[in-house]
Structure 1
Amino acid sequence: MHNQSEVPCVITDDAALSSEQKLWLISLSGHLSMQNGYSLNTLKHHSKNETDESITNDNLSILNNGYGVTTKEELIKTLNVFYNTSNSQVFMNCMAELTRNDLLARYNIENKSTAYQNTPIGIMSDWAGIHKFSLARGGIRAFDIGRYTFLCRCGVDVNFLTEEEAWHYLKPIGKLAQTLFVSWQEYATSYVVGRCIWQKIKILQTYSEPNPDFNFSHDLFEKINDSTTTLQNILADDEHPWCQLDWEIHF
């Protein structure tokens, strides 16, 4: 059971983050940053083709249209939601049912094909069945961790957060990620599964038979906005921070 606590308040931190630590924290947003044209070199978004005003307007649109965030207070509230994601807890409960014999018996006795088919809990249960071992610790929390990190970056670009505030919000989410996952690969898998569940993508759309490999069809690529392609490109790029930074970097 995840502890339900708010994101730590911004306080003075005597231990400044190194450039490597900052890059690691920014990289938690790798998938969304790439999709939205962000580099991972700096916290703020920089583009040769956009003015500061254009970047600000783009990020205001992302925050408002994607997350219903229009103020600093709403941004912090949303960060708290992502820090304590409830969807992952439901996913973890589904995995518990699939790994405990007493609960599994009940799960199998119920007519899953009719009771849960095409429902959010049924879709989540199917994904949990495939990843009940590989995501046993972190579930699908990477999906919310990635969004949390990206929203911090957006918050800086629209002046809802100072850079100092953003680093103080990012440090605890980085520590949390390290307690939940053991590698960038595992983090990436959690993110993809979380996104598939969020978009109510059924197992049958992604697998011809149960296996942990992501062999998506073109139609599915379209449905999840090519997030899997983005992640595969990240993991295949030796120059990307995910392939250079040690997951167990110390904070």
Structure 2
Amino acid sequence: MGLWNRRKRGPKAVRRYPVPLTTHQLWMVSLSAPVSRDRSASRTTLYPFTRIDDDGARRWLAEQWGITSRAELVDRLDDLSRTGYRARAYRLTGISPLAWDAALYVDISRRGFGCGLLDEADAWTALKNIVPSVVGTYGSWREYADHYLLGRKVWQDGLRGTPDAGFGAPQAQADAHLRSLLDPANRTSPWNQAPWTTISHPDRPR
């Protein structure tokens, strides 16, 4: 509880980044929405948190991914864009769930921006680089969500019998989060604010 309170006192991210995202930018950021489940996550800014927490972004990258430098970040993004976890998923299921890797790719890019390993221009370039493969693979947020959950399940199954077996939220929690994002009545869902076809139309201010 004390940790949450300390982070909550940071200035709101929108004060540092007051310009709203364009429709295309929001769509790209929304690729990481399945990963962003906790209350501190921002789903409508490039910055990954609702309040400024650069140290939190830095710690997360180091602890969860072993990323402590720009070179390591770039290498991880390159791996996720080329093969990622979907290569193993394909061997096991015959399906290559790009959505799982794309969500992680965007999440890591945003946190890299949050702690200064990427500047804003480079972060947007990284997000733009993943768009063609995602758009070429899926036709809706529902399809994207289904493949995200498949990739997540394969990833979790791979942790069984290892010291990391308890890592990550329970599958039921991930399922509920995706249902909320897909719920047409949920006005706070970035997927409702930036429908799937948004990225195929001209960009515009929001």
Fold shared, TM-score > 0.5 on shorter chain: yes
Letter of the aligned partner of 2:40 in structure 1? G
Equivalent in the alignment of 1:167: 124
How far off its partner does 1:45 sit?
Answer: 3.5
Aligned partner of residue 31 in structure 1, secondary structure: coil
Q: What whole-Å deviation, never above 9, does each CA across 1:91-119 have from its counterpart, x for those lacking one?
A: 34x5xxxxxxxxxxxxxxxxxxxxxxxxx
CA distance in 2, matches of 1:234, 1:183: 12
Counterparts in 2 of 1:153 and 1:36: CA distance versus 1, 3 Å: farther
CA distance in 2, matches of 1:42, 1:222: 23
Q: What whole-Å deviation, never above 9, does each CA across 1:112-147 have from its counterpart, x for those lacking one?
A: xxxxxxxxxxxx33xx5xxxxxx6xxx211111000
Counterparts in 2 of 1:42 and 1:74: CA distance versus 1, 3 Å: same
Equivalent in the alignment of 2:162: none
Letter of the aligned partner of 2:102 in structure 1? I
Q: 1:242 aligns with which of 180, 185, 191?
A: 191
Equivalent in the alignment of 1:232: 179
Q: 2:27 aligns with which of 24, 28, 33?
A: 24
CA distance in 1, matches of 2:195, 2:38: 23
Counterparts in 2 of 1:239 and 1:47: CA distance versus 1, 3 Å: closer
CA distance in 2, matches of 1:86, 1:46: 25
CA distance in 1, matches of 2:82, 2:193: 29
CA distance in 2, matches of 1:79, 1:46: 20
CA distance in 1, matches of 2:56, 2:135: 31
CA RMSD of aligned residues (A): 2.6
Q: 1:156 aligns with which of 85, 91, 113?
A: 113
Q: What whole-Å deviation, never above 9, does each CA across 1:136-169 have from its counterpart, x for those lacking one?
A: xxx2111110000001110111100011110011
Q: What whole-Å deviation, never above 9, does each CA across 1:72-102 have from its counterpart, x for those lacking one?
A: 100000000100125423434x5xxxxxxxx
**Are the aligned partners of 2:85 and 2:101 in contact in 1 as well (CA < 8 Å)?**
no
How far off its partner does 1:226 sit?
Answer: 1.8
How far off its partner does 1:222 sit?
Answer: 5.3
Report 1:94-133 matches (<5 A): 94=91, 124-125=92-93, 128=94
Equivalent in the alignment of 1:208: none
Q: What whole-Å deviation, never above 9, does each CA across 1:29-85 have from its counterpart, x for those lacking one?
A: 00222336222221013435xxx4xx1121112101111100010000000010012
Aligned partner of residue 34 in structure 1, secondary structure: coil
How far off its partner does 1:199 sit?
Answer: 0.7
Letter of the aligned partner of 1:21 in structure 2? H
CA distance in 2, matches of 1:38, 1:145: 17
Paired residues, what number? 171
How far off its partner does 1:245 sit?
Answer: 2.3
2:147 is equivalent to residue 144 of structure 1:
no
TM-score by length of 1: 0.61
Letter of the aligned partner of 1:162 in structure 2? D
Q: 1:38 aligns with which of 41, 44, 51?
A: 41
**Are the aligned partners of 2:30 and 2:44 in contact in 1 as well (CA < 8 Å)?**
no
Counterparts in 2 of 1:198 and 1:61: CA distance versus 1, 3 Å: same
Structure 2 gap segments, 5+ residues each: 1-20, 159-167
CA distance in 2, matches of 1:178, 1:190: 13
Structure 1 gap segments, 5+ residues each: 1-17, 95-123, 129-134, 202-220
